[in-house]
């Protein structure tokens, strides 16, 4: 398996994989609203391909991380954070731990770059193994509908105090553009 940072040449295959994995209406999902007007963090976007020809030489998996902010409702304080996703694994490459490998790599690289707070919308049964929890997010809002139990956060800095009530937002710098 060869995992590397995403390049512009990967983009058409990534879009096709995401459409296959999540459907062409995926852009209507709440998480996509947070990405509008922003760009993923290049250093935290990865693709995986098989070197041995498995997966018929096509893209096996992709992961991206996007800048967001957590805005505390009571104080207005804004915590910088990352939104993990989308992550997708091609159907014929599933069941081999590839998604987990990409998540672990992305989280290690994010922490190395100083990002201590990562949020996602996903299945707790899967993402809890990577340190994500929905305990702190019970009173957090998103810019659209989301099943509350699927809104999960991971703080790699144990001294970080998360707000009890907050709104997940696009970063101000992206919103201003």
Over the stretch 100-154, which tens digit does the pLDDT of each residue have?
A: 999 999 999 999 999 999 999 999 999 999 999 999 999 999 999 999 999 999 9
Cα Rg of the chain (Å, integer): 16
Per-residue 3-state assignment (H helix, E strand, C coil) for 111-144: HHCCCCEEEEECCHHHHHHHCCECCCCCEEECCC
Q: What pLDDT was estimated at residue 138? A: 96
User: Measuring CA to CA, which residue among 131, 106, 134 is closest to residue 121?
Assistant: 134
Q: What pLDDT was estimated at residue 174? A: 46
- Domain at 18, CATH number: 3.40.630.30
Q: What pLDDT was estimated at residue 23? A: 83
For residues 151 and 162, the answer to whether their CB atoms sit within 8 Å is no
Q: What is the pTM of this model?
A: 0.90
Q: What pLDDT was estimated at residue 142? A: 94
Number of domains in the chain: 1
For residues 83 and 112, the answer to whether their CB atoms sit within 8 Å is no
What tokens were used for 151? 């809104």
Residue range(s) defining the domain that contains residue 46: 2-176
Average pLDDT for 52-59 = 62
Can you list the alpha helix ranges (DSSP code H) found in the chain? 11-22, 30-35, 98-112, 124-127, 172-176
């Amino acid at each position: 398996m060869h995992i590397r940072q995403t390049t512009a040449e990967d983009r058409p295959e990534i879009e096709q994989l995401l459409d296959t994995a999540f459907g062409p209406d995926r852009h209507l999902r709440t998480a996509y609203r947070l990405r509008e007007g922003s760009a993923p963090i290049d250093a935290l976007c990865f693709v995986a391909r098989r070197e041995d020809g498995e997966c018929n030489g096509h893209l096996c998996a992709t992961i991206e991380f996007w800048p967001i902010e957590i805005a505390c409702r009571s104080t207005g304080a804004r915590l910088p954070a990352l939104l993990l996703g989308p992550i997708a694994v091609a159907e014929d490459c599933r069941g081999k731990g590839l998604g987990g490998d990409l998540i672990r790599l992305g989280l290690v690289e994010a922490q190395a770059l100083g990002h201590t707070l990562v949020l996602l919308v996903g299945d707790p049964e899967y993402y809890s193994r990577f340190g994500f929890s929905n305990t702190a997010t019970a009173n957090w809002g998103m810019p659209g509908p989301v099943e509350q139990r699927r809104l999960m956060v991971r703080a790699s800095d144990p001294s970080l105090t998360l707000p009890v009530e907050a709104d997940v937002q696009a970063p101000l710098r992206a919103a201003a553009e």
